[in-house]
């Protein structure tokens, strides 16, 4: 049963934008859009609501998986480091990590423990250390061939760095790294074993806020949906933050509302209920 949003957050102000995470949220358990979700998103857009994606995925994997819905025209990717225009196929904005901070990050973390391994996403391609091979070969964002075999240098625009350790994973790894880093970069987790690092203050909320500023949309008219640590800032920023029942405790605590799970098409149910209440 989907509980309708509180009147004070939606009915007194129209919902103008829905920004949704993908995996664990808009996507079903097979990491794809279900027919019911496609229909719900199309109905929302037909009702005048702008729907965008806000994901940790890169454009490489996010764009093809969004194609079936057809009406999502904008994707915030790589945890807010990129804004991609789907109709033109162009990445319109990059918010890279300061090159000097990239250099310090690699040196600092490697000095802590030489078993740390890195993967990097840049405007010159993606690459990874050999210790990331097992992930790269099954990860849609990376593929089987390195686009950039060397580690990032000062001339690269590095948008995201992933860090893994053989014994420490996910939130435990984030908590280990944050106090030991030289610069206050943004470190998040998304349910995978490694952590994802973006620039200072760069997250899904900052990118969605930039879009809202361009489009003249008040944050109070934004609904955000998500399920993990990398969604928390966006859930807190939006006028209404909606967390998934299958989400992390941090995502649920950051949200105004918790709905069902992605297994049950909870986002589709919530959109249907929203439209029927309008």
pLDDT at residue number 278? 73
How many whole angstroms separate alpha carbon 235 and alpha carbon 59?
22
Contact 228, 195 (CB under 8 A): no
pLDDT at residue number 146? 76
Contact 25, 19 (CB under 8 A): no
Contact 233, 207 (CB under 8 A): no
CA 67 to chain centroid, in Å, comes to 17
**Residue 75 to residues 47, 95, 123, 151, 158, Cα–Cα distance (Å):** 20, 14, 17, 26, 18
Contact 230, 170 (CB under 8 A): no
CA 128 to chain centroid, in Å, comes to 20
How many Cα atoms occupy the beta-carbon half-sphere of 237 within 13 Å?
Answer: 21
Q: Which of 50, 96, 89 lies closest to 212, judged by CA?
A: 50
pLDDT at residue number 2? 36
How many whole angstroms separate alpha carbon 106 and alpha carbon 109?
6
pLDDT in tens, the chain (278 residues): 233 455 434 446 899 999 999 999 999 999 999 999 999 999 999 999 999 999 999 998 999 999 999 999 999 999 999 999 999 999 999 999 999 999 999 999 999 999 999 999 999 888 999 999 888 777 777 766 677 888 999 999 999 999 999 999 999 999 999 999 999 999 999 888 899 999 999 999 999 999 999 999 999 999 999 999 999 999 999 999 999 999 999 999 999 999 999 999 999 999 999 999 87
- Which pTM value belongs to this model? 0.93
pLDDT at residue number 4? 44
Sign (positive or negative) of CA dihedral 199, 201, 203, 204: negative
Q: Which of 169, 163, 165, 166 lies closest to 187, judged by CA?
A: 163
pLDDT at residue number 145? 66
pLDDT at residue number 134? 86
178, with CB counted inside 10 A (0-12, 13-18, 19+), is: middle
Beta pairing, strands 222-226 & 17-20: parallel
Place of tokens 């949906």: 225
């Amino acid at each position: 049963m989907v509980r309708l949003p509180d009147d004070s957050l939606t009915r007194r102000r129209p919902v103008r934008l829905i920004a949704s995470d993908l995996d664990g949220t808009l996507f079903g358990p097979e990491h794809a859009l279900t027919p019911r979700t496609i229909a719900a998103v199309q109905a929302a857009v037909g009702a005048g609501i702008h729907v965008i994606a806000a994901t940790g995925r890169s454009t490489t994997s996010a764009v093809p998986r969004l194609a079936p819905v057809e009406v999502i025209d904008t994707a915030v990717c790589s945890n807010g480091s990129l804004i991609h225009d789907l109709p033109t196929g162009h990445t319109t904005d990059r918010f890279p990590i300061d090159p000097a901070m990239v250099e310090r990050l690699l040196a600092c973390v490697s000095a802590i423990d030489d078993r740390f391994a890195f993967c990097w996403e840049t405007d010159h391609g993606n690459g990874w250390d050999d210790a990331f091979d097992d992930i790269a070969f099954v990860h849609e964002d990376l593929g089987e061939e390195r686009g950039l075999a060397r580690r990032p240098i000062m001339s690269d625009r590095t948008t995201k760095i992933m860090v893994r350790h053989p014994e420490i994973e996910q939130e435990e790894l984030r908590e280990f790294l944050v106090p030991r880093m030289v610069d206050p970069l943004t470190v998040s987790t998304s349910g995978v074993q490694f952590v994802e690092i973006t620039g200072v203050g760069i997250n899904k909320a900052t990118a969605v806020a930039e879009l809202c500023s361009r489009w003249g949309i008040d944050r109070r008219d934004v609904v955000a949906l998500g399920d993990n640590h990398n969604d928390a800032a966006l859930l807190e920023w939006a006028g209404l933050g909606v967390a998934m029942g299958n989400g992390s405790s941090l995502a649920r605590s950051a949200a105004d509302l918790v709905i069902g799970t992605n297994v049950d098409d909870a986002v589709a149910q919530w959109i249907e209920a929203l439209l029927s209440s309008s």
